[in-house]
């Protein structure tokens, strides 16, 4: 029986199902005689939960996944949240209700608040709250060792839902895959599964109802499919695919140290996108030639205050030193939209993606902006730094941002600080107004990086977080290709470097066209580097120039995809 769903962590595997059905705790709302005893019982449960979460966090950090460890730092903060504790204790005090029911009442209120949010990222945070709620109530009910998935052979875990702490405790040597009915690409469980290298598929259609522990299953995290009790033919096909997968991976790895070049000698750079220093090793292991985008906002998130100049300087220095002279494009803070930081009050906005975000917010919060720019300039002598401003819509904004850069540079020089005199200052082209006026921007910016994730959302007026309008994510639509051509041509005319750091840079149909358009740099998540280098190596730029001309004559995205596929670009 085949179930189709969404692949959220890649890889294929075949094993026995271990069906994980978590005990659902039933809390009885009983009255208590002594509220002090009850409050102490509640606090003891919080303490025990804290010890457990700290243990999970330390284990995952020890296993070299520090950024996933941060997920559990957030759990610890929720556990210690004074408002939640105060509200629970008030219910115990006033209503004389037992701790488990009081805590459940408070947590359920916050869980439904998150559950009802439009933003899918925020909705998935409800899972984190449920995770903590169940852990604490488990302790109150005397259930020690919250997670008790235990097996000593290879399995594929099947569950209705897996919390981040369930996922973090999985033994990557035994767990060959995960299937759940709930979850999304940006859920913390998905992030953890990807970093543990465990293939993961989310399927609906009552998979959990049909399967039982011991059933055989084939899971394909690339396609997003699961086959329950596969036939001999399914298994034959699986073994062929697995072999092909391994051979292809080996072939791609052989490209690690080679240049990125077309058959007719058009050389480009393939670099990596990173969100933190922890992602650097993976870029280097996958043959990244530089960093095309460092999203610094993650350094500012999940904390109580802004990182100060010295902390930022140390981080940027470390990144630059590790990249050992390879170019590193560091983007200044891009918060707002779906990325929130607690200590900056942006206020309620009707349309956060069209609101006070990125460079707009930085120009508004000038001290914070200056602090980052100073830290960057100070770090410049430790490597090959390029600074990039996000979400530039007008020439005035770019000039203002550059003025802040010049002021910071001049004051650092007068303070006697050693800096690199020739730091390139560029911009993301991700708003249609900038794409249209690229010929003017190209005279003032040292380089461009095309941010297609936002450029597509704004060109098609389709919120990138809203699944209902995801059909409008059309990187191959001629309207977008015309904008991209305009940007690349403008940069070339002024002799400026032009890269792309949005998802489109590794789209197998887009890459041939971008080669035809003359893009200099393709920046992407490290797992896409080998594949893209291999595609580029098969192309001939002269032919791709002709292909682009034809693509620009098309009317729809599908027509362009068909054109590229027909020209044998697809393997």
Residues that bind ligand PEP (CB under 6 A): 293, 295, 334, 430, 451-454, 501-502
For Mg ion, the closer of residues 100 and 334 by Cβ is 334
Of the ranges 154-162, 172-180, 250-258, 448-456, which one interacts with Mg ion (CB under 5 A)? 448-456
Q: Is 324 left (phi over 0), alpha (psi -120 to 50) or beta?
A: left
For Mg ion, the closer of residues 191 and 429 by Cβ is 429
Can residue 397 be called a binding residue for Mg ion (CB under 5 A)?
A: no
Of these partners, ligand PEP, Mg ion, none, which one is at the site of residue 501 (CB under 5 to 8 Å by kind)?
Answer: ligand PEP
For ligand PEP, the closer of residues 211 and 484 by Cβ is 484
In the complex, the smallest distance separating the C-beta of residue 192 from ligand PEP, rounded to whole angstroms, is 21
Tokens 């559990």 correspond to: 72
For Mg ion, the closer of residues 65 and 295 by Cβ is 295
Can residue 451 be called a binding residue for Mg ion (CB under 5 A)?
A: yes
429: which strand partners? 450
In the complex, the smallest distance separating the C-beta of residue 467 from Mg ion, rounded to whole angstroms, is 19
Of these partners, Mg ion, ligand PEP, none, which one is at the site of residue 17 (CB under 5 to 8 Å by kind)?
Answer: none
In the complex, the smallest distance separating the C-beta of residue 454 from ligand PEP, rounded to whole angstroms, is 3
**Given CA atoms 487, 490, 495, 496 in this order, what sign does their dihedral have?**
negative
- List the catalytic residue out of 65, 188, 382, 497: 188
- CA 423/CA 400 separation, integer angstroms: 17
For Mg ion, the closer of residues 134 and 454 by Cβ is 454
> CA 265 → CA 53, 147, 291, 530, distances in Å?
54, 56, 23, 18
- List the catalytic residue out of 211, 306, 371, 501: 501
- CA 538/CA 512 separation, integer angstroms: 10
Question: What is the SS3 string spanning 408-430?
Answer: HHHHHHHCCCCCCCCCEEEEEEC
In the complex, the smallest distance separating the C-beta of residue 292 from ligand PEP, rounded to whole angstroms, is 9
In the complex, the smallest distance separating the C-beta of residue 387 from ligand PEP, rounded to whole angstroms, is 15
427: which strand partners? 389, 448
Of these partners, Mg ion, ligand PEP, none, which one is at the site of residue 295 (CB under 5 to 8 Å by kind)?
Answer: ligand PEP
Number of residues that bind Mg ion (CB under 5 A): 3
Supply 25's token pair. Answer: 């705790």
Catalytic residue status for 188:
yes
For ligand PEP, the closer of residues 134 and 334 by Cβ is 334
- CA 69/CA 165 separation, integer angstroms: 10
What interhelical angle do 35-62 and 120-140 show, nearest 10?
120
- CA 54/CA 61 separation, integer angstroms: 10
Using the rule CB under 5 A, which residue among 52, 134, 454, 521 binds Mg ion?
454
In the complex, the smallest distance separating the C-beta of residue 287 from ligand PEP, rounded to whole angstroms, is 21
Compute the residue count for the chain.
571
Strand bridging mode 225-228 / 260-261: unpaired
179 three-state secondary structure: strand
- CA 479/CA 462 separation, integer angstroms: 14
Helix H or strand E encompassing 300: helix 297-300
Burial class for 119, CB neighbours closer than 10 Å (0-12, 13-18, 19+) = middle
What residues from 178 to 207 belong to the interface with Mg ion (CB under 5 A)? none
Which stretches within 421-521 are classed as H helix?
Answer: 432-436, 438-444, 452-459, 478-493, 510-517
For Mg ion, the closer of residues 451 and 478 by Cβ is 451
For Mg ion, the closer of residues 11 and 426 by Cβ is 426
Of these partners, ligand PEP, Mg ion, none, which one is at the site of residue 420 (CB under 5 to 8 Å by kind)?
Answer: none
Of these partners, ligand PEP, Mg ion, none, which one is at the site of residue 135 (CB under 5 to 8 Å by kind)?
Answer: none
Chain center to CA of 342:
19
Supply 300's token pair. Answer: 């500012």
Of these partners, Mg ion, ligand PEP, none, which one is at the site of residue 104 (CB under 5 to 8 Å by kind)?
Answer: none
Give the closest residue to 190 by CA, choosing from 135, 234, 124. 124
Of these partners, Mg ion, ligand PEP, none, which one is at the site of residue 14 (CB under 5 to 8 Å by kind)?
Answer: none
In the complex, the smallest distance separating the C-beta of residue 451 from ligand PEP, rounded to whole angstroms, is 3
Helix H or strand E encompassing 237: helix 232-253
For ligand PEP, the closer of residues 225 and 523 by Cβ is 523
Supply 548's token pair. Answer: 């682009």
In the complex, the smallest distance separating the C-beta of residue 363 from ligand PEP, rounded to whole angstroms, is 18
Of these partners, Mg ion, ligand PEP, none, which one is at the site of residue 289 (CB under 5 to 8 Å by kind)?
Answer: none
Of the ranges 238-246, 316-324, 452-460, 524-532, which one interacts with Mg ion (CB under 5 A)? 452-460
In the complex, the smallest distance separating the C-beta of residue 487 from Mg ion, rounded to whole angstroms, is 14
Chain center to CA of 64:
18
Indicate which residues carry an active-site annotation: 188, 501
User: Residues in the site for Mg ion, rule: CB under 5 A?
Assistant: 430, 451, 454
């Amino acid at each position: 029986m085949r179930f189709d769903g969404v692949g959220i962590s890649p890889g294929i595997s075949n094993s026995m199902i271990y069906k994980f059905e978590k005990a659902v705790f039933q809390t009885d709302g009983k009255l208590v005689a002594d509220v002090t005893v009850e409050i102490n019982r509640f606090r003891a449960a919080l303490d025990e939960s804290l010890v457990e979460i700290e243990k999970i966090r330390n284990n995952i950090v020890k296993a070299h996944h520090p950024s996933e460890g941060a997920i559990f730092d957030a759990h610890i903060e929720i556990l210690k949240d004074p408002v939640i504790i105060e509200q629970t204790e008030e219910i115990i005090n006033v209503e004389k209700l037992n701790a488990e029911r009081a805590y459940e009442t408070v947590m359920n209120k916050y869980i439904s608040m998150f559950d009802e949010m439009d933003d899918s990222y925020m909705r998935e945070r409800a899972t984190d709250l449920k995770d903590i709620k169940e852990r604490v109530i488990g302790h109150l009910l005397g259930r020690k060792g919250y997670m008790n998935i235990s097996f000593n052979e290879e399995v594929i875990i099947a569950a209705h839902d897996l919390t981040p702490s369930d996922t973090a405790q999985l033994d990557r040597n035994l767990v060959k895959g995960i299937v759940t009915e709930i979850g999304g690409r940006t859920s913390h469980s998905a992030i953890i599964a990807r970093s543990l290298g465990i293939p993961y598929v989310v399927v609906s259609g009552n998979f959990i109802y049909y399967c039982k522990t011991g059933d055989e299953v084939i899971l394909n995290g690339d396609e997003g499919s699961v086959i329950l009790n596969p036939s001999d033919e399914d298994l034959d096909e699986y073994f062929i695919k697995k072999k092909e997968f391994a051979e292809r991976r080996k072939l791609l790895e052989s490209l690690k140290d080679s240049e990125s070049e077309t058959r007719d000698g058009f050389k480009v750079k393939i670099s990596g996108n990173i969100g933190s220093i922890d992602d650097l090793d993976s870029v280097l292991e996958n043959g990244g030639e530089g960093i095309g985008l460092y999203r610094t906002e993650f350094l500012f998130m999940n904390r109580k205050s802004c990182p100060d100049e010295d902390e930022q300087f140390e981080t940027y220095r470390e990144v630059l030193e590790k990249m050992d002279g390879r170019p590193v494009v560091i983007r200044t803070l891009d918060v707002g939209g779906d990325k929130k930081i607690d200590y900056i009050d942006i206020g309620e906005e009707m349309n956060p993606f069209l609101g006070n975000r990125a460079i707009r917010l930085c120009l508004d919060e000038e001290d914070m902006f200056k602090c980052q720019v100073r830290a960057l300039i100070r770090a410049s002598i430790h490597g090959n730094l390029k600074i990039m401003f996000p979400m530039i819509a007008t020439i005035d904004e770019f000039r203002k941002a550059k003025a802040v850069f010049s002021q910071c540079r001049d004051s650092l020089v007068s303070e006697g600080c050693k800096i690199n005199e020739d730091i390139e200052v560029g911009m993301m082209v991700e708003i249609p107004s900038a794409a249209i006026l690229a010929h003017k921007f190209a005279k003032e910016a040292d380089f461009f990086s095309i941010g297609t994730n936002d450029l597509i959302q704004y060109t098609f007026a389709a919120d990138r977080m809203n699944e209902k309008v995801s059909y409008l994510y059309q990187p191959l639509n001629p309207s977008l290709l015309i904008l991209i051509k305009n940007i690349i041509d403008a940069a070339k005319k002024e002799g400026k470097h032009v890269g792309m750091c949005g998802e489109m840079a590794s789209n197998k149909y887009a890459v041939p066209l971008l080669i035809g358009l003359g893009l200099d740099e393709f920046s992407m998540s490290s797992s896409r580097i080998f594949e893209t280098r291999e595609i580029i190596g098969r192309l001939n730029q002269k032919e791709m120039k002709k292909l682009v001309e034809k693509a620009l004559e098309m009317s729809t995205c599908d027509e362009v995809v068909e054109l590229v596929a027909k020209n044998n670009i697809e393997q």
